[in-house]
Structure formats: C-alpha cells, structure tokens
C-alpha cells in the first residue's frame, strides 16, 4: 500500500523543526500533503459549541479546517511538528487541536484514526522540546492514533544552517530508524492496552450519556456501545 502522509507544521517558517519533519516525510516516501500554520489555518476557537451540539460541519471555521482533517483521515502516517515556544507548542497549533476536540475518544472519534501512525516533532536551541512532543503526542492519542513516535532534539543553534554536522548526523540516524518502523507498519498500527482501556472507559461513559446526544448517537450507529471496536471492524468507520 502506498504511504500517504499528512504533514502539519505548527509555524509558517521553514526552520530546524520543519527540516527534521520534512526529512522524515521524504524518508518514509509516498504522497505528502503539507500544511503550515497559521497560513493554512489561523482561526481561534470561539467556544460556541456548534461542533458539539450540531456537528463539526457547523463550526464557523469548518471551511479552513476540513482540508486538514480530511488529509489526516486519509493519511497512513500523520506528522505534526512545532518549534518550542516558551516550553510549549505554538499557539496556532494548539488552536488547531482545540477545533478537533469533538474527534476525541470522549466524544465522536473517527474509526479511521485507529489504524494510523503518528509522529510528534520538535526542536529547540536549549530546552522544552520534550515537553512539546509529549503535548502533541497526547493530543494524537486522544484522537485515537494507536502508535505515536516522538522526535525531539536540542540543537544548540537558532537556525538549521548553524546546527553542527555531528548533531545533524544524530538526527538523521534517529529519523532513519523511525521512518523504517513507520514503513513496516504501513497502515497496520494496532491499539495497545492503554488505548483499548481508554476506549472501554469512554464506552461506559457513552452508555450513560444524557448530555450530548450527538456523541451517543455516533457510538450507537457504529455499534461501539456493544461489542464492536473500530480497530477490528472497518465497517464502523
């Protein structure tokens, strides 16, 4: 199966974090759909709850959100990166995640996510990159992505051009290793115990859901409130 990659950058500029993510995407190979924030999505969540109450299509920013979400759903691998800003991901990337909250396990997860591989990428001149990749990976987990790799590197430099050759070599070795693992999975990622356990908790919660009817209907339509699970029955997607 030909690999499809959704590559989402948490910043417009093409700096060190961009270089690492792009290196990974090219080593994996296949079709790459690339997005830059805020160029391709600049909206702030308004907290209107239209997505929760009437569906994500009712979000006032859905026209901008839809291409990114569709690319994620169509991809075999999803790479999301952010440079380290004040020990965290960029505000524009967090805003994108804010718009995806109804896609979380606790609401209306998309079954297609349960077969994908994710990668969280961040670099920093000094510190904080591990915190960023951990935050991105947490978001991807709650979207139902069963396997998420993390790539974080301290560069001791403020541009990719000034990163030492020794550091670049270490990064390439790491990227090669992860690219090889992703290609071996090729759309066959399977949830581990943690994701299955969280899904079962959400199943129990949805059985007693009397506050978000669209959420419960989503689970009922896919027979997830019974024995069906998205990673075994693709008809429930």
> How far is it, in rounded angstroms, from Cα 6 to Cα 34?
6
pLDDT at 237: 58
Residue entry with tokens 């020794």: 166
71-87 residue pLDDT tens: 999 999 999 999 999 99
> How far is it, in rounded angstroms, from Cα 34 to Cα 228?
34
Q: pTM of the predicted model, to two decimals?
A: 0.95
pLDDT at 123: 97
Domains of the chain, by residue range, sit at 4-189
**What's 4-189's CATH class?**
alpha beta
165-184 residue pLDDT tens: 999 999 999 999 999 999 99
Q: Tell me the three state secondary structure of residue 223.
A: coil
29-59 residue pLDDT tens: 999 999 999 999 999 999 999 999 999 999 9
């Amino acid at each position: 199966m030909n690999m499809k990659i959704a590559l989402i950058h948490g910043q417009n500029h093409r700096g060190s974090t961009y270089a690492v993510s792009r290196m990974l995407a090219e080593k994996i190979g296949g079709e790459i759909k690339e997005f830059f924030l805020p160029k391709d999505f600049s909206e702030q969540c308004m907290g209107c709850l239209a997505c929760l109450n009437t569906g994500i299509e009712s979000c006032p920013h859905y026209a901008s959100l839809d291409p990114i979400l569709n690319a994620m759903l169509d991809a075999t691998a999803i790479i999301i990166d952010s440079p380290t800003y004040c020990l965290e991901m960029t505000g524009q990337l967090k805003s994108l995640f804010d718009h995806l909250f109804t896609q979380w396990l606790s609401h209306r997860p998309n079954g297609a996510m349960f077969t994908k591989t994710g990668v969280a990428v961040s670099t920093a001149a000094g510190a904080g990159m591990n915190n960023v990749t951990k935050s991105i990976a947490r978001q991807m987990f709650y979207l139902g992505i069963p396997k998420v790799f993390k790539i974080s590197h301290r560069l001791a430099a403020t541009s990719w051009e000034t990163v030492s050759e020794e550091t670049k070599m270490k990064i390439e070795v790491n990227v090669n290793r992860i690219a090889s693992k992703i290609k071996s999975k090729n759309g066959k990622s399977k949830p581990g115990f943690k994701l299955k356990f969280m899904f079962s908790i959400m199943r129990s919660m949805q059985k007693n859901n009397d506050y978000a009817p669209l959420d419960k209907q989503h689970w009922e339509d896919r027979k997830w409130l019974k024995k069906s699970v998205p990673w075994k029955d693709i008809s429930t997607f």
